[in-house]
Amino acid sequence: MNNRIVTLDEFIIRRQKDFPFASGELTGLLRDIGVAAKIVNREVNKAGLVNILGKAASQDGNASGDQVQKLDLYANDKLIDCLKNSGECCGVASEENEDFIPIPGVGNKTSKYVVVFDPLDGSSNIDVNVSVGTIFGIYRRTSDSKGPCKLEDFLQKGADLVAAGYVLYGTSTLLVYTTGRGVNGFTLDPSIGEFCLSHKDIQIPKSGNYYSVNQGYYLKFDVEMRRYIDQCSDMNLRLRYIGSMVADVHRILFQGGIFVYPNTRKYPQGKLRLVYECNPLSFIVEQAGGKAMTVQLKRILDLEVKHLHQRATIAIGSPEMVDEMKAFVERYSATPTFD
């Protein structure tokens, strides 16, 4: 077997040939995100040694009301800096910022991409050394390229993503991404400071033995979701829930299973954010052969995006298991559902 090292940079450049009209901007953008991931990884790995653990000074939380961790803000700043310096992106939207951030062009160069990201998803786990992750999505801007980016550039459906990926800071640091031609994974080799191709053409198992849901909210779910979760338990599936969506979905991408975050009284629209959690991860999982829909049976990537921090319910994972969940909702739902 050819075990020659293929770095992320080399792979991205090689894949650029797949896009006959590629001008190299997307390539540059993906490489810059890789650099940001290495910088964030360095701090995540030594978070306990420097004063970036714990809660940030600002007590008012972020746009989603979550308590902000110091490392969240560090990761956010580093991603924004890298994307600003890349010259390949004309704006970013982050979970940590209420509004999008226009990035002025360098010279008379006008970039044609915008980037959405959750800089450090699952950050409540940081202080207890549990895996956290960065999630990103890339859109081609729709606004007039002569001016600054506009809100419309960020409110595109997930189906219009040109690329999406995540970085999982776990026992090793893994970057997984897609540009719509399959999903590939790269493990960071600290000895050479490069992400190296480690998981080529990832395909999600058609079914699996894991289900991932916050069982603590069971009684707060609608009856059809409770019945579906009962069925998972009756089938002796194994419950795995870390409270970090990137880590939970990553397990399912590699080993099969389903991750579900239904609506509850506290989160009637669902808790997870559509723009920078559900859409990018759904693009990746669909590209790997999986499915992702709301628990109201709408395909995640087809959802209208009305505002940056919009929430959604989600059931994502192995195609056969998402279909089973769909069958449950159709059978038990109090109100008939129509496609």
Identity (one letter) of the amino acid at 258? Answer: I
Mode of pairing for the β-strands spanning 183-189 and 194-199: antiparallel
Q: Which stretch binds ligand P6P (CB under 6 A): 8-16, 48-56, 160-168, 238-246?
A: 238-246
Q: Does 300 bind ligand P6P (CB under 6 A)?
A: no
CB of 217 to ligand P6P, least distance (A): 7
| Contact status, residue 132 vs residue 123, Cβ threshold 8 Å | yes
* Given the residues 9, 66, 127, 320, the one annotated as active site: 66
Q: How far apart are CA 216 and CA 314, in angstroms?
A: 17
Residue 95 annotated to the active site: yes
Q: Is the Cβ of residue 272 or residue 315 nearer to ligand P6P in the bound state?
A: 272
Integer Cα distance of 121 and 40 in angstroms: 12
Q: Cβ(54)–Cβ(69) under 8 Å? A: yes
Instruction: Judge whether 234 counts as a catalytic residue.
Output: no
How many C-beta atoms lie closer than 10 Å to residue 239's C-beta? 14
Quick one: which of 16, 310, 326 has its CA closest to 181?
Answer: 16
**54 interacts with ligand P6P by CB under 6 A:** no
Taking CB under 6 A as the criterion, the residue among 40, 82, 245, 278 binding ligand P6P is 245
Judge whether 77 counts as a catalytic residue: no
Spell out, one character per residue from 56 to 95, where the chain touches ligand P6P: x when CB under 6 A holds, - when not: ----------x-----------------------------
Minimum CB separation of residue 290 from ligand P6P in Å reads 17
Q: Does 122 bind ligand P6P (CB under 6 A)?
A: yes
Q: Name 144's Cβ contacts closer than 8 Å, sequence gap at least 6.
A: none
- The binding site for ligand P6P (CB under 6 A) comprises 66, 121-122, 124, 214, 243-245, 248, 271-272
